[in-house]
Structure 1
Amino acid sequence: MRTHERVLARIEADLTAGRLALGDRLPGERVLAEQLGVSRPSVREAVRVLEAMGVVRTATGSGPDAGAVLIADAATGLGAALRLHVATSGLPVRDVVELRLLVEGWGMRMAAASGDAAALDRAAALLDAMDAPGLEPDRFLELDAAFHEALVGTAGNVLVTAVMTGVRGAVLAYVRAGARTVADWDAMAARLRTEHREILGAVQEGRADEAERAVRAHIEGYYRDAGVH
């Protein structure tokens, strides 16, 4: 085990045993280094890893907000890992798309059963924003991602929401690249708007099978027609 991994293992053990909890501040570099018999640079490396994973938030200085505080932001770590693996071609985009199909197909079924009026109103507002004239493709796709995340989020499953956020972040660059290759973006955007309305309508009316079918066709259709590989 590398030195910084000993620090990570100690923090994991403390979390599991309840000696540390969300909102707690990690012991300082010097304290951890002395307790574990490692160097302070090893402690700093471990804290940087935890921050990248979305487990801690760090702030410099000597005030009440300084140091490393335990948080729960699973989407940050998952999203960063997926983006890097896609960028290195170690994780085929097609595999990410298939994961989206699984997650969002299930998510739309849950959304249709949830009856979460407030969440559905937020999703509808995002679709209204996508109707704005002259909307740039990048902004359109940002709203598109937020719409999908809002509906999947109604399931109330923290891990699924984190995976969803990570998956969308991992392929956003490819989605944008695909938009730039579309010969008639206005026509594509109009089609996507129609498909979004169909998905939302099925969810609002509790038609779970139709909601799942519509979102799967929507995802597959964009990746096929935008030539994303």
Structure 2
Amino acid sequence: MVRPQGYTPVCDELLRTVRTPVKNYELVLNRVEADLAAGRLRLGERLPGERSLAEQLGISRPSVREAVRVLEAMGVVRTATGSGPESGAVIVAEPASPLTALLRLHLATNHLPMGDIVQTRVLLESWTAREAAHHAGAGDLVAAEELLDRMDAPGLSPEEFHLLDAEFHVALSALAGNVLIAAVMSSLRTAIHGYVLAAVPNLADWDATAVGLRAEHRAIVGAIRAGAGDEAAALITAHIEGFYRAAQLR
């Protein structure tokens, strides 16, 4: 292959980066982060509507909605339903810290070993489940329970189910009150979704697995609501490791 003058090994690396597939909702996140950095979006302003963003970026409206949910979990936007002046997604903060952006940039590569992701999840999520059981009130669990209700909807594809699943685990991690751990879990979202979705073809019966995962989620939330920290930690550990074994990822 003949390379033009000035071509360096760095160019090869840049080309590999460009060719790496980017998930649709990451396009929205990148666009919003760039607009915030450039001053095109400011605190108190609203994001463009779903339809507008979808058309501008050439992606689906569900992908835009998923991106907005990620931004809300990061504390960057606040959303309100309806059609009045208070509806839509409003910028309420800059990204929580430079650490959040750096972690997302690194972890979005999806090159992390599955075993390392699972071990990290067990360490973080067992601790956050225990802490949430000791500190979270009933009202704090509403968002997590709404996600579980959405996972009960009939006809969900595995991808839709696992997007909600990843969001559920991120929401639980935020209940412990540790901003750094919440940021790490939010950064792991893409890696978690990627390896979990890749595991689906290894499952003997996805429908039966989904029923089991729903029951395990409910049990975890029930233990947190009851203030049973050790039980919640044990349940979430068994939940994460059990899926990993069932999907034959070891």
TM-score (norm. length: structure 1):
0.66
In structure 1, C-alpha distance between the alignment counterparts of 2:202 and 2:113, rounded to whole Å: 20
Partner of 1:198: 219
2:165 is paired with a residue whose SS is helix
2:36 corresponds in structure 1 to 57
Uncovered stretches (5+) of structure 2, i.e. residues with no partner: 1-29, 44-92
> Partner letter of residue 59 of structure 1?
A
* Deviation by residue 1:71-99 (Cα, 9 ceiling, x = unmatched): 43543321221232x42xxx422112101
Is 1:216 matched up with 2:216? no
Q: Which has the larger radius of gyration?
A: 1
**Given the alignment, which residue of 123, 132, 136 partners 1:111?**
132
Q: What are the equivalent positions in structure 2 for 1:7-86 lying under 5 Å apart?
A: 57-59=36-38, 71-73=95-97, 74-84=99-109, 86=110
Give the residue type in structure 1 aligned to 2:186.
T
* TM-score (ref. length: structure 2): 0.61
Give the Å deviation of 1:117.
2.4
Question: Is the deviation greater in 149-158 or in 202-211?
Answer: 149-158
CA-based RMSD: 2.7
In the alignment, residue 72 of structure 1 is paired with which amino acid?
Answer: A
SS of corresponding position for 1:58: helix
Cα separation, 1, equivalents of 2:190 and 2:100: 9
Q: Pick from 172, 180, 185: which aligns with 2:201?
A: 180
What are the ranges of 5 or more consecutive residues in structure 1 without an aligned counterpart? 1-50
Hey, what does 2:143 align to over in structure 1? 122
**Matched residues, number:** 170
Aligned equivalent of 1:167, options 166, 179, 188: 188
Identity %: 44
